[in-house]
Amino acid sequence: MRFRIYTMVCALALFVSSLAAGQQPKSIKSSGNGRAGQSDWPVYGRDLAGSFYNPHEKKLTPATVSRLRPKWVFETGGDVSSMPIVVGGVVYFGSWDGKEYAVDAATGKKIWEFDCEVSSRSGAAYADGVLYFGDIAGRLYALDAKTGAQKWKVKIDPHKDTVATSSPIYHNGRVYIGISSHEEGAILKNRNYECCTFRGGVAAYDARTGQQIWRYYTIPETPAPQGKDKAGKTILGPAGGAVWSTVSVHPAHSRVYVSTGNQYTGPASKYPNAIIALDMLTGKVVWANQATPGDIWTFDCRNNPDCKDLDVDFGAVPVTFKGPGGKRLVGAGQKSGWFYALDVKDGSLAWKTQVGKGGKLGGVEFGNATDGERVYAGVSDFPRQGNITALDGATGKILWQTPAPDKGANFGPVTVTGTGADRLVFAGTNRNFIRAYDARDGKILWEFDTGGAVGGGASIVDGVVYVGSGYQFLGVGKPNNKLYAFSIDGK
């Protein structure tokens, strides 16, 4: 019983927080991000493809990374689990204190702050002088990046439990964002709550006006009564399929790749717990591959006869990389502990590899990255020990796997820098550490105790590592209120 309660508490915290393209992008310019420079980090995942890879980083190498020291530290009023973006010498990030910040990248001095009154835990996107970000109340904002003045604000879905944990992605005058909710935990607030009516998905907005262009629903049917549960409450469904991950956008073939969450109520649908290809212009489904069918789960699971008590949804960005014979693959890690790689043409399975034990807070939560040939997975497996795994993109073979030496969970995004033998992998844990690994063999070359759980991932620009600290809301780590900038010898 104690374990079940413990598991439920952990899952509750998660809920609350909760090519076809060609070659790997070699320049940020292809992303349509205005004046963002080649070495900048203008969007969550750094590029449209969500690779979390900066091949232009030359200062940080296996020979120099051990010399990283704090350059400056910026303090907010709450946890910092937002992955910072860096454009034109300015760092933009959100905090659990309800504010979005702009900070001078060289000095750590505040330029402006914008108060949205609720936490901003995901990354932002910069384009043509405008900053786009979402908040936990399910609102998408557009701000003047220079002044912080609001240009527009929209609710991304009318459902009362809508949240924006997905980071917005900008391209060619449009902003794409995943849509999630907290409805799977509504029973914790109201014992008589009749679940569920939320349907996850993706929406595209006009970047200039905030007007919705299209909306894709992971659950095509409108929820309707499906009978009674064991407690006598009406079951409404089908519902769920939240997209709490961030999408990847591939203009060359007009694709948006999406990974989706579990279903709340039945009947079972084919789009939850799936990797999906959408047409970028219309939002129509091109193909879908469902990893775990029938994963129906909420916090009222015991009363729903259809509940399987799995909750192994996808939360990581679908990334693209080179497969066998040069074939393009798209893949993502799942909370089940498996990484799935699919053919971009039709979504058929190319390979799958188990990288963790999996579970409600296990497997891959937010962390996968690629340098175009290898895939790197950050494995949480909370409350057990997590790891960082490197996979061969063509075969799925595990090249190396490094357990977290602090026995912590690697639940946040993973970042890769450099080329060839100079490649590095950066990842944080819930036990406060940010670490740098040699991409060749997984050897740890540098680490730093930030004082709080590292959940947002590191953005790396011109030899400086920017990373937030503090992520207590998952119930798996310590709070903190800091954004760090690390540079060689702290200079």
How many Å separate Cα 156 from the centre of its chain? 17
| CB hemisphere CA count around 476 (13 angstroms) | 31
Q: What CA–CA distances, in Å, run from 474 to 14, 217, 360, 471?
A: 5, 27, 12, 7
| pLDDT per residue as tens, the chain (491 positions) | 333 333 444 444 444 333 333 333 333 433 333 456 778 999 999 999 999 999 999 999 999 999 999 999 999 999 999 999 999 999 999 999 999 999 999 999 999 999 999 998 899 999 999 999 999 999 999 999 999 999 999 999 999 999 999 999 999 999 999 999 999 999 999 999 999 999 999 999 999 999 999 999 999 999 999 999 999 999 999 999 999 999 999 999 999 999 999 999 999 999 999 999 999 999 999 999 999 999 999 999 999 999 999 999 999 999 999 999 999 999 999 999 999 999 999 999 999 999 999 999 999 999 999 999 999 999 999 999 999 999 999 999 999 999 999 999 999 999 999 999 999 999 999 999 999 999 999 999 999 999 999 999 999 999 999 999 999 987 889 999 999 999 999 99
Q: Which is nearest to 351 in space by CA: 383, 394, 385?
A: 394
* Burial track 97-113 (b if 16+ CB lie within 10 A, e otherwise): bbbbbbbebeebeeebb
What span, in angstroms and rounded, lies between the C-alpha atoms of 232 and 263?
21
Exposed, middle or buried by CB within 10 Å (0-12, 13-18, 19+), for 63? exposed
Q: What CA–CA distances, in Å, run from 143 to 147, 152, 211, 307, 371?
A: 8, 7, 15, 42, 31
What span, in angstroms and rounded, lies between the C-alpha atoms of 432 and 437?
16
What span, in angstroms and rounded, lies between the C-alpha atoms of 410 and 300?
28
Strand, helix or coil for residue 106? coil
pLDDT the model gives residue 36: 67
Strand, helix or coil for residue 176? strand
CATH number of domain containing 171: 2.140.10.10
Q: What is the domain count for the chain?
A: 1
Domain extent for 397: 2-488
DSSP tag of 30: G
Helix, strand, coil % over all residues of the chain, rounded to 5: 10, 40, 50
Q: What is the DSSP string of 246-311?
A: --EEEGGGTEEEEE---EEESS--SSTTEEEEEETTT--EEEEEESSTT-B--TTGGG-TT--S--
